[in-house]
Amino acid sequence: MNLQFVLNGKPWRVECEAQETLAEVLRNTLNLNGTKVSCEVQVCGACTVLVDGAPVSACTYLAYEARGKNVTTIEGLEKPDGTLDPLQQAFIDEFAFQCGFCTPGMIMSAKALLDENPAPTRAEIIHYMDGNICRCTGYVPIVAAIQRAAQAMGKETKK
């Protein structure tokens, strides 16, 4: 099947099979390995990418469903000049990851949250992020990183 979509701001046309998931096309066809696959049943959030701004689990989302849509992956957050997204920087500053396997999905979910709600409370962060599992950090620094990024982005818009 012919699949056309916009990936990280660039139009793409790739061949895919009907049963292929978006994670498979990203990882196997396009060699974009930032999107990680873990539970494969939409429970852990490691494979989270944004489709038209909404977080989806790429492990179970059929690639063909993305036709004509805007897909953003972890590789799409860094600006061409190397500037990191405020969330990426906040994850570094708060030591919000260890092994890093959940991190791309974690950051993409957090991005969807902040796009929707730029100043979430702690309770809102916990509620929104509940679909992402991290086994290393105990979540404490991740909550701090999201709060820090929200603050940084708030300052940025006020400038």
Say which residues have a Cβ less than 8 Å from residue 57's Cβ, sequence separation at least 6.
42, 45, 47, 48
Q: How far apart are CA 150 and CA 159, in angstroms?
A: 14
The answer to whether 51 and 66 have CB atoms below 8 angstroms apart is yes
Based on the shown chain and the rule CB under 8 A, indicate whether residue 35 belongs to the binding site for other proteins: yes
Question: What 3-state DSSP class applies to 83?
Answer: coil
Residue closer to other proteins (CB basis): 55 or 104: 104
Q: Is residue 149 close enough to count as binding other proteins by CB under 8 A?
A: no
How far apart CA 2 and CA 91 sit, in angstroms, is 37
Among 110, 129, 149, 150, binds other proteins (CB under 8 A): 129
One symbol per residue from 64 to 103: x for binding other proteins (CB under 8 A), - otherwise; what is it?
---------xxx-xx-----x---xx-xxx-x-xxxxxxx
Q: What angle do CA 20, 10, 6 make, to 5 degrees?
A: 45
Report the nearest approach of other proteins to the CB of residue 129 (Å): 5
Q: Mention every residue, 6+ apart, whose C-beta is less than 8 A from residue 27.
A: 33, 35, 37
Q: Name which of 135 and 155 has its Cβ closer to other proteins.
A: 135
Nearer to other proteins, 68 or 121 (CB): 121
| Contact footprint for other proteins (CB under 8 A) | 27, 32-41, 43-44, 46, 73-75, 77-78, 84, 88-89, 91-93, 95, 97-104, 107, 125-127, 129-130, 132-133, 135-143
